[in-house]
């Protein structure tokens, strides 16, 4: 997989002309990108002196939560910012979003957080829902803590729960904001092993949005067969010129 690669299969995620997005006062330009089943891409800002962390704004844009200031985001062939809201909700059932360490509801247990996509989007019997949730809890080694709330567990555990929740419905696209606990075990722990197994099914694509360049992670990621794509900062003047008619 390479950015904007032309393949016969319909892509899961496509940014035909690239996108522009903003993080605070800074505008950023992400180049054209096309991801099919089995493709992984890490998106990293060029340079390391960003005043505002761009990973959140970029992840929000790709996860259908904040439209780009320029460009089109297509998920499974649909322009996610131009379709009717009911269609967008159905499309979101095919999307898993990992919001760093802070994406869990603080007033719910870890089990209730993991169950949320199933209760909102899943069309299964109660027994099927419970079995699905139990599988994710066991797979992510969370059985001993699922009765606890996010504030009662450490950051690595919260991140495992975030990933379990994102994958519980086996989405077509997974968007990760940051690399979670990768620094702890260099990809050899439970969470990254499960992510690798999910990728090997070759039914989904994933994008990982970095706050800054991370040479160690990027080298490991390339060794796993992923692609690293840089996005560039733009000045306000550049942004204004590109957005003017």
- Strand 40-45 relative to strand 227-234: parallel, antiparallel, unpaired? parallel
Delineate the domains of the chain, giving CATH numbers in brackets.
13-89+174-245 (3.40.50), 95-170 (no CATH)
CB 81 within 8 A of CB 63: no
Higher pLDDT, 237 or 148: 148
**Which pLDDT tens digit goes with each residue over 52-111?**
789 999 999 999 999 999 999 999 999 999 999 999 999 999 999 998 766 899 999 999
CA distance 136 to 223: 27
**pLDDT class for 129, splitting at 50, 70, 90?**
confident
Looking at residue 49, its pLDDT comes to: 61
pLDDT at 86: 92
Confidence class of residue 4 from pLDDT cuts 50, 70 and 90? very low
The more confidently predicted of residues 209 and 102 is 209
Mean pLDDT over 32-44 rounds to 96
User: What is the helix (H) or strand (E) element at residue 233, kind and residue range?
Assistant: strand 227-234
pLDDT digit string (tens) for 144-169?
A: 999 999 999 999 899 999 999 999 99
The token duo for 116 is 């949320």
Q: State yes or no: pLDDT of 115 exceeds 80.
A: yes
Percent of the chain with pLDDT over 70: 89
Average pLDDT for the chain: 88
**H or E stretch including 26?**
strand 26-30
DSSP 81-122: TTS-HHHHHHHHTTEEEE-TT--S-TTS-HHHHHHHHHHHH-
Query: What pLDDT digit, counting tens, does each position of 168-180 carry?
Result: 999 999 999 999 9
Q: How confident is the model at residue 10 (pLDDT cuts 50, 70, 90)?
A: confident
Provide the pLDDT confidence category of residue 127 given band limits of 50, 70 and 90: confident
Tell me what pLDDT residue 1 has.
43
Please, which pLDDT band fits residue 237 given cuts at 50, 70 and 90? Answer: low
pLDDT for position 24: 75
Residues 154 and 102: beta-carbon distance below 8 Å:
no
């Amino acid at each position: 997989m390479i950015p904007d690669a032309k393949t016969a299969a319909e892509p899961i995620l496509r940014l035909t002309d690239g996108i522009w997005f903003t993080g605070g006062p800074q505008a950023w330009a992400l180049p054209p990108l096309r991801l099919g089943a089995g493709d992984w891409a890490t998106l990293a800002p060029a340079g390391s002196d960003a005043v505002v962390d761009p990973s959140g704004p970029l992840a929000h844009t790709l996860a259908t939560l904040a439209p780009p200031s320029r460009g089109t985001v297509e998920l499974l062939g649909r322009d996610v910012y131009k379709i009717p809201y009911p269609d967008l909700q159905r499309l979101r059932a095919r999307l898993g979003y990992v919001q760093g360490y802070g994406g869990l509801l603080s007033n719910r247990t870890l089990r209730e957080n993991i169950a949320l996509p199933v209760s909102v989007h899943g069309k299964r019997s109660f027994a099927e829902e419970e079995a699905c949730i139990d599988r994710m809890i066991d797979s992510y080694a969370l059985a001993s803590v699922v009765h606890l709330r996010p504030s009662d567990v450490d950051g690595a555990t919260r991140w495992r729960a975030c990933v379990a929740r994102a994958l519980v419905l086996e989405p077509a696209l997974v968007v990760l904001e940051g690399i979670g606990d990768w620094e702890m075990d260099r990809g050899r722990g439970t969470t990254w092993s499960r992510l690798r197994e999910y990728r090997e099914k070759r039914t989904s694509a994933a994008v990982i949005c970095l706050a800054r360049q991370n040479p160690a992670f990027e080298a490991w990621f390339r060794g796993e067969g992923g692609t690293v794509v840089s996005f560039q900062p733009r000045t306000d003047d550049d942004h204004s010129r590109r957005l003017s008619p």
